[in-house]
Amino acid sequence: MHIDVQPSPRAVAREAARLIADAVADRPSLAIALPTGQTPLPLYRELIVSYAQSKIDFSQVSFFNLDEFVGLGHTHAASYHAFLKHHLLDPLGIRANQIFTIRGDARDSVAEAARYEQAIAKRGGIDIAVLGIGANGHIGFNEPARHLHPRTHLLTLAPATRRANAWLFGDRLRDVPRQAISMGVATILSARGVLLIATGAAKAPIVHRAIQGPVTTSVPASLVQLHPDAIVLLDKAAASRL
């Protein structure tokens, strides 16, 4: 695991964008898994700026989202599909056939999880999994538990995760779905490269546990320690407990 501490969230975003740009330049038909949330927003802005300057050609890249709320269709403003489209994919001009997302409103969530896992396998797996980290140590929506699911699955969100996502629902906690579908830890860790990003002092304690603590299912992000080609990009504040 390579740990890279940058001076600011902006510097983290720039470095992450540079790593992604280099990977796409090396192999234009990459499959990239992306998180939603506050942390990747500066990265997405950076990618849009770089693209506008024609530094990166995304026309052959496939984009997968890591997770999705159950019950929300693609057009729901708080869906992770809509989030990624709005903050990254539309500004980049990504075509529909390059976008692979989970249907939160599928009638059968278990079947939808299996369909998504198959879509990932059909595409040859994920090349780069970009990850955020929840304050409870989750990656994707793999919440701390005694047993983690290896593959894409239906799950119940931790109360803390629902609270952390309330901002997407106008701060109305009751509107935040209780269930989600997420890539599993084996799906994520089967990616050829993993890029975990964390910024801000609030993430410092969990970053410390994930990187310097034991590998444990109580901190799903600690499993990233086992990946042979993982990069952890932190700003100074998130790295302050290391």
Q: Residues interacting with ligand F6R, by CB under 6 A?
A: 35-39, 66-67, 80, 132-134, 138-140
CB 70 within 8 A of CB 176: no
Closest CA to 140 of 91, 85, 190, 213: 190
Alpha carbons 114 and 10: distance in angstroms, whole number: 37
In the chain, DSSP finds a helix count (H) and a strand count (E) of 7, 10
Q: How far is the CB of 151 from ligand F6R (least distance, A)?
A: 16
Nearer to ligand F6R, 104 or 132 (CB): 132
Nearer to ligand F6R, 57 or 170 (CB): 170
Active site (annotated) includes residue 15 = no
Q: How far is the CB of 52 from ligand F6R (least distance, A)?
A: 24
Q: How far is the CB of 211 from ligand F6R (least distance, A)?
A: 16
Indicate the burial class of 31 (C-beta count within 10 angstroms; 0-12, 13-18, 19 or more): buried
Active site (annotated) includes residue 67 = yes
Nearer to ligand F6R, 55 or 105 (CB): 105
For the record, the structure tokens of 80 come out as 């992770």
CB 35 within 8 A of CB 132: yes
Nearer to ligand F6R, 55 or 76 (CB): 76
Alpha carbons 71 and 89: distance in angstroms, whole number: 22
| Catalytic site residue from 4, 136, 149, 208 | 136
Active site (annotated) includes residue 105 = no
User: Bridge partners of 8?
Assistant: none
Nearer to ligand F6R, 87 or 106 (CB): 87
Closest CA to 186 of 224, 146, 136: 224
Alpha carbons 103 and 111: distance in angstroms, whole number: 11
| Catalytic site residue from 142, 143, 227, 235 | 143
Q: How far is the CB of 115 from ligand F6R (least distance, A)?
A: 19
Q: How far is the CB of 161 from ligand F6R (least distance, A)?
A: 7
| Catalytic site residue from 15, 46, 67, 112 | 67
User: Bridge partners of 154?
Assistant: 181
Q: Which residue of this chain has its Cβ atom nearest to ligand F6R in the complex? A: 132
Alpha carbons 200 and 222: distance in angstroms, whole number: 19
Question: Which residues are marked as active site?
Answer: 67, 136, 138, 143
